[in-house]
């Protein structure tokens, strides 16, 4: 039976529905599902292009490793990245030692892509493959419009939440 989650920009009160890709990324899906609900500050990508994301403390009992990886996500892809703090807490990323991220062992980036022509390339250390673990099936146009608003008007005060959805 398919599993679904709701992804919501809380301040803008916009959401979409994503179906987990249990057949393509079973370990990632299981770790994310078991950790839901998850919420973090919303960001718009600086490098990847048409991406919004939140950073949360690492939650996987065992990191899932590479599953269904991509460096060229398409509209509707929902992805999982796992980082060590040194990879993100740099001046070029805009996070620093005063952020809540600094004391963590692992940082998980849960992201969604809302438009085409994305490339997961970080100028500091190269390609950054992500695990595609879900696909947006409802509300992509609405979340895309809200994501463009984040890009144009800023992310301050916005939260991005991921929660289970019973169907």
Q: What is the pLDDT of residues 24-45, one digit of tens each?
A: 999 999 999 999 999 999 999 9
Q: At residue 92, does pLDDT exceed 90?
A: no
The domain ranges of the chain are 4-165
Q: What is the pTM of this model?
A: 0.93
12 closest CA partner among 141, 115, 142: 142
Confidence class of residue 123 from pLDDT cuts 50, 70 and 90? confident
Mean of the pLDDT values across residues 90-98?
58
CATH, domain 4-165, list 2.40.50.100, 2.40.100.20, 3.40.50.300, 3.40.640.10? 2.40.100.20
Residue 98 pLDDT grade (very low, low, confident, very high; cuts 50, 70, 90): low
Per-residue pLDDT at 94: 58
Average pLDDT of span 9-21 = 98
Q: Of 91-95, 99-103, 135-139, 149-153, which gets the smallest average pLDDT? A: 91-95
């Amino acid at each position: 039976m398919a599993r679904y989650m709701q992804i919501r920009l809380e301040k803008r009160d916009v959401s979409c529905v994503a179906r987990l890709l249990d057949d393509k990324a079973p370990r990632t899906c299981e770790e994310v599902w078991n950790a839901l609900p998850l919420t973090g500050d919303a960001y718009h990508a600086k490098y990847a292009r048409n991406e919004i994301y939140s950073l949360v403390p690492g939650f996987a009992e065992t990191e899932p490793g590479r599953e269904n990886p991509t460096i060229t996500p398409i509209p509707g892809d929902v992805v999982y990245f796992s980082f060590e703090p040194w990879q993100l807490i740099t001046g070029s990323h805009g996070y620093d030692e005063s952020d809540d991220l600094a004391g963590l062992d692992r940082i998980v980036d849960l992201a969604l892509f809302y438009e085409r022509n994305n490339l997961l390339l970080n100028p500091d250390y190269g390609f950054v493959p992500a695990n595609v673990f879900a696909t947006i099936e409802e509300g992509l146009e609405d979340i895309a419009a809200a994501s463009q608003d984040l890009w144009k008007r800023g992310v301050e005060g916005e939260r991005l939440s991921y929660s289970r959805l019973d169907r």
